Amino acid sequence: MRLIVKALTAEAFAPYGDVLTAPAEPGRTYFENGLGNARPSARPSMSVSHRAPIDGLPLDVSMLERHEFSSQTFVPIDASRWVIIVCPHAAAGGPDAAKAEAFVATGWQGVTYRPNTWHHGLTVLDRPAHFAVFMWRDGSAGDEEFVPVTPFTVDAPG
């Protein structure tokens, strides 16, 4: 399978979560409605991630992850472009990679993945990047799950 990345928009990403963008005018925008947690014992967790860029597209994907009970938010602190690969949970269990979608976000766009949304690990293009990451954690195996998938390729248009 070969996926072609498309620009990240709120409408296209809506089945998987929220796109976070800073307000165009001075002020503040709140995004707490997308922050989900189904475990009373989980605590809010904030981290900062530093990622080296990949050599560019195409990107071979063979592993996906999810946070079954928690949303996960990525907010660029210093980034150029980054790749987002998502797919729904299959009725039979695991990721439904046949329905995967791929997006390219700008350094001005963040995302919140809904709980139980399968996604690829944080992948950046162009130059090293830093992100603030927010999720809920209780120290159990439910914090995160990684599974191999039949490999597929994510590529640029053209």
| pLDDT tens-digit series, residues 119-136 | 999 999 999 999 999 999
Tokens coding 85: 């690969």
pLDDT tens-digit series, residues 13-54: 999 999 999 898 999 999 999 999 999 999 999 999 999 999
> What is the per-residue pLDDT for 43?
96
Say how many C-beta atoms besides its own lie within 10 A of residue 63's C-beta.
12
- Rounded distance, CA 73 to CA 114, Å? 9
pLDDT tens-digit series, residues 59-106: 999 999 999 999 999 999 999 999 999 999 999 999 999 999 999 999
Helical H segments across 10-157, by residue range: 10-13
128 touches 79 (CB < 8 A): no
CA triple 5-65-145, angle to 5 deg:
175
Predicted TM-score (pTM) of the model is 0.94
